[in-house]
C-alpha cells in the first residue's frame, strides 16, 4: 500500500540515502576542476600600474614660511 501524502515516502528515503554520495561526488569533481579554474584565472588577470605625484610648494606670509604639501 502506497501513501502519496506520506511525510516519509520511499523516494524521500532514497534521496536522503544518496545525499552523502552526492556530496562526495561534488567534492571530488571540485578537486579535479580546481587546477583548470586557477589556470583560467591566471590568464585573465590584468596588471594596472598607478603613479601618484606629490608636489610641495612653499609660500612666505608675513615673514614666515608656510609649506603646502
pLDDT digits (tens, 9 = 90+) for 19-43: 888 888 888 888 877 665 565 555 5
**Domain hosting residue 13, numbered range:** 8-36
Report if residue 19 sits inside a domain: yes
| CA atoms of 9 and 2, how far apart (whole Å) | 8
Report if residue 1 sits inside a domain: no
| CA atoms of 30 and 25, how far apart (whole Å) | 9
Which residue, among 49, 48, 45, 65, has the nearest Cα to 57 in the 3D structure? 65
| CA atoms of 37 and 29, how far apart (whole Å) | 12
| CA atoms of 8 and 5, how far apart (whole Å) | 9
Report if residue 17 sits inside a domain: yes
What is the pTM (predicted TM-score) of this model? 0.32
Report if residue 68 sits inside a domain: no
Report the domain count for the chain: 1
For residue 4, pLDDT over 80 is answered with: no
Q: Which three cell numbers stand for residue 51?
A: 603613479
Amino acid at each position: 500500500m502506497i501513501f502519496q501524502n506520506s511525510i516519509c515516502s520511499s523516494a524521500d528515503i532514497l534521496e536522503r540515502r544518496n545525499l552523502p554520495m552526492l556530496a562526495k561526488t561534488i567534492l571530488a569533481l571540485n578537486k579535479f576542476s580546481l587546477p583548470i579554474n586557477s589556470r583560467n584565472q591566471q590568464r585573465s588577470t590584468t596588471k594596472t600600474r598607478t603613479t601618484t605625484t606629490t608636489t610641495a610648494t612653499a609660500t612666505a606670509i608675513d615673514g614666515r614660511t608656510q609649506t603646502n604639501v
